[in-house]
Every structure is written in structure tokens, then in C-alpha cells.
Amino acid sequence: MALDLSQHPCFSPAAAQHAARVHLPVAAKCNIGCRYCNRQHDCINESRPGVSSTLLTPHQSLYYLERLVAETPQIRVVGIAGPGEAFATPEDSLLTLRLVRQHYPDMLLCVASNGLALAPHVAALAELQVSHVTITVNAVDPGVGARIYAWARPGKHVLRGEAAARELYERQMEALSACVGAGILVKVNTVVVPGINDRHAVEVARTVAGLGASYHNCIPLYPAPGSEFAELPSPAPADMAAIRREAGAFLPQMRHCGRCRADAAGLLGESMPERVLGLLREAAGSPPVPLARRPCVAVASHEGLLVNQHLGEADRFWVFGQDGNPLALAGVRPAPAAGGGHQRWLDLAAQLQDCRAILVSGAGPTPREVLAQQGLQVIVTEGLVEEQLLALHLGQPIRRKCEPAACGAGCRGSGTGCG
Ligand code: SF4
Ligand code: SF4
């Protein structure tokens, strides 16, 4: 489906008049230390990136989105913008985007990133038709960057000083080029810090324009309480205007940024209505995979009384949870035919869209992973179906089966996995 790229309110001042966006706060962690950041300081009246009143799991965020879109139909863009870094926990971010894309094929998807760990995920973003990416680039000179970033953790080890800033810069440029190469529009944000990079922001614009960025957003420093830069002044409006004028020689400048929160929803510049906050809080308080979205549980069983079939050998699944009763049979559904690899498990997930878990006597790692990505928890157990369903319903521990060490040892398969 062709997406209407003109409807992104951040990339188009005209769209900002009528097109709303929502940020899903699923990114809890970060992999760099910006000296202007303090994500601990949360206030619902405060509007700035990095602040969110709550965190959501990917499935909670879809549950929230469905309810939000029902009451705010002008939502055109779904983005991830923190409160940490989207690619510090890429599994959560990508699953969130995947769920949104599955349910809203014509929605614009957007991600904001510091760029440190973005490049390896650009192909996945392109596959999900993520059309807009924002990378925050505050310096293209490691000497300047070292004064803005306290550290960076590109892998297992933490870098500091110029080594951190250089690594970050190189990875940002790699990610920017990869996005442009994949046809994704890139906006670059630059936080302007007086006395540190205010005279450098134009150089940032020149560099990123050369790599194909389409838009530049110079954001005046917000001296966040508790951050290292808490005592620095915000740049004067006249200085910001001059920087934007000069940087505008290289890239179109964004002048309508709302410095949005990581859980912002609605039109740019509008504060979040209390009813939307209520939806957000309710989603955050629901189970990681909300019951309302997935009320049922599927069981691999020969006769529907015992959990006694391996995931890969079941030719049908018993689905329980009709009308909110965890023990009421909702139906018996055929399993997709064996073979077909990855697609077989995607087809099964589609068959069981109303289920949050599958009880099986055994399962290989690949289907578990694929099904988990689709929101279906595979639970390896044994014994009476009724007992296990009740335990799951009441949030009690499920009796976990002691699993065989090798594939093929617990089922009638060939030992080559559940493909
Ligand atoms: Fe804070 Fe974002 Fe910087 Fe991470 S990248 S330290 S969340 S401002
Ligand atoms: Fe758009 Fe600025 Fe809000 Fe980010 S902070 S979503 S760039 S308006």
C-alpha cells in the first residue's frame, strides 16, 4: 500500500495543522549518556523529549493505540521516541512497529534514535515500511561531542570522552546513509547547547545534508533539572533564529517542533487531554499482553483433556476462553500444514490471534521465538488442561515440564527442529 508521506506533522508544517501523532513509550533503556538528559524527572505538565508518564510493553501499546485511534481518528503517525533509546532494546521497538503495521497498514511509522545502534536494524525498518526516522546529531567533531556525551555503550564496553563521541558520530553517519539508501526520510535533530555546539550546528547541517538527510531540527537546550547541563542557559530566540538561517543554506529547517514527550498524543503543541492519559495509564496497568485483546488460550492435545502434544506435531488446537470463561471451549482450529518453515508459525499466529498463550508438551526454539514475536507465549507443560487453564487465569505458576535436552527426543519428529 502506498503511504501518504506528506501527512507527517513534524516533517510538514501544513500537516501539523490537522494530522496528529502518537508516541508509544516502549523504549525504556538508553545506550549513551547525553549530559542534558534526565529521564528520572517526570512531570505530566512538562513537555520535552525523554519524559514519559509511563512505559508500555509492545502489546500494551497496541491495546492503547486501538483505543486511542477510536477516539482520535486524526492520528496519522505512530512513532517511538523514548523515553530511552529505541534501539537499546530493539526487540521491543521492532515488535511494536510490527504489531502496529499489521493492524494499521496505512499508518505512517516513525522512529527517533540517537543513531548508536540503528544501522543494523534499517533493513527491518524498511521492511515494516517505516517511512520517517529522526537521528539526533549534536556534533560531527568528537572534540565537541565529548563535551555533550558523557559515555556511549556500543557493545559490552562503555566508551568515554572523545572515543565515545567518535564512535557515536561514525555510527550515526552509517545509520543515516543506510536509511537514505533504504528510501527512508531522515530528519536530523540537533540540541543547541550555548557555548558548546551553538557555533557547530551549521557544520552538522552541512555534513548530514551531504549524506542525504532531508530536514533539520535545531532544538534549543532545555536545562533539565538534575542533568549535568541544568545550570546552562537556553539559547536566546534570536540566536536560534540566526543558527536556523545559516543551517538553512544546507537543509530545510523545522521551526514548529513541540519538544514532545515520549508519550505525546494528538496535534503538535497541544497538551494531552486527561481522557487520553487515562487510556495510557489503563494500558500500562493491564497485563503485558492485555486480556481484552487476547482472551483465549490454545492447547495442543489429542483429546482436549490433557496437554499431551508437541507444538510441531499437533494437527489442531483446542481454544479455550469463550465469553470470558477460561474453561469454556471456543473451538477446535486446524493447525497449518507441516513444512513451510517460518511461515508456518506466522500462519499459526494468525489462526490464534485471540490467544495469548499456547500450552504444549514440547516446542523447538524457532517457533517459540516466532510466536513470541507475534504475542503468543508458548508454555511447555503437561497434565490436565483444566488445571493449567485455571492457573493461567488466576496468575498462578504453571507447572513447567522438564524438557528433553535435544530436539526430537520428546516428539515423533526427525530431530531437525519444528520446521
Ligand atoms: Fe537521554 Fe535520549 Fe540522550 Fe539517551 S539519547 S541520554 S534518552 S536524550
Ligand atoms: Fe516532532 Fe519535535 Fe515532537 Fe519530535 S519533538 S515528534 S520532532 S514535534
Whether the predicted pLDDT of 48 surpasses 70: no
Mean pLDDT computed over 274-296: 83
Share of the chain above pLDDT 90, in %: 61
| Tens-place pLDDT, residues 307-360 | 999 999 999 999 999 888 999 999 999 999 888 788 899 889 989 988 989 999
Per-residue pLDDT at 49: 58
Per-residue pLDDT at 233: 95
Per-residue pLDDT at 389: 93
Ligand 1 centroid – CA 155 distance (Å): 17
| Tens-place pLDDT, residues 225-263 | 889 999 999 999 999 999 999 999 999 999 988 788 888
Ligand 1 centroid – CA 296 distance (Å): 39
Which residue's CA is minimally distant from atom 6 of ligand 2?
A: 260
pTM: 0.75
- Residue 381: half-sphere exposure toward Cβ, Cα within 13 Å: 25
Ligand 1 centroid – CA 50 distance (Å): 7
> Which of the given ranges, 72-76, 211-215, 379-383, has the highest pLDDT on average?
211-215
| pLDDT-derived band at 45, boundaries 50, 70, 90 | very low
Contacts of 142 (CB under 8 A, 6+ apart): 162, 163, 165, 166, 169
| Tens-place pLDDT, residues 368-394 | 888 887 778 899 999 999 999 998 887
* Nearest ligand for residue 28 CA: 1
Which residue's CA is minimally distant from atom 2 of ligand 2?
A: 257
Q: What's the 3-state SS for the chain?
A: CCCCHHHCCCCCCCHHHCCEEEECCCECCCCEEECCCCCCCCCCCCCCCCCCCCCCCHHHHHHHHHHHHHHCCCEEEEEECCECCCCCCHHHHHHHHHHHHHHCCCCEEEEEECCCCCHHHHHHHHHCCEEEEEEECCCCCHHHHHHHEEEECCCCCCEEHHHHHHHHHHHHHHHHHHHHHCCCEEEEEEEECCCCCCCCHHHHHHHHHHCCCCEEEEEECCCCCCCCCCCCCCCCHHHHHHHHHHHCCCCCECCCCCCCCCCCEECCCCCCCHHHHHHHHHHHHCCCCCCCCCCEEEECCCCCCEECCEHHHCCEEEEECHHHCCCCEEEEEECCCCCCCHHHHHHHHHHCCCEEEEEECECCHHHHHHHHHCCCEEEEECEEHHHHHHHHHHCCCCCECCCCCCCCCCCCCCCCCCC
Mean pLDDT computed over 51-76: 88
Whether the predicted pLDDT of 44 surpasses 50: no
Which residue's CA is minimally distant from atom 7 of ligand 1?
A: 84
Whether the predicted pLDDT of 124 surpasses 80: yes
84 Cβ below 6 A of ligand 1:
yes
Per-residue pLDDT at 417: 45
| pLDDT-derived band at 51, boundaries 50, 70, 90 | low
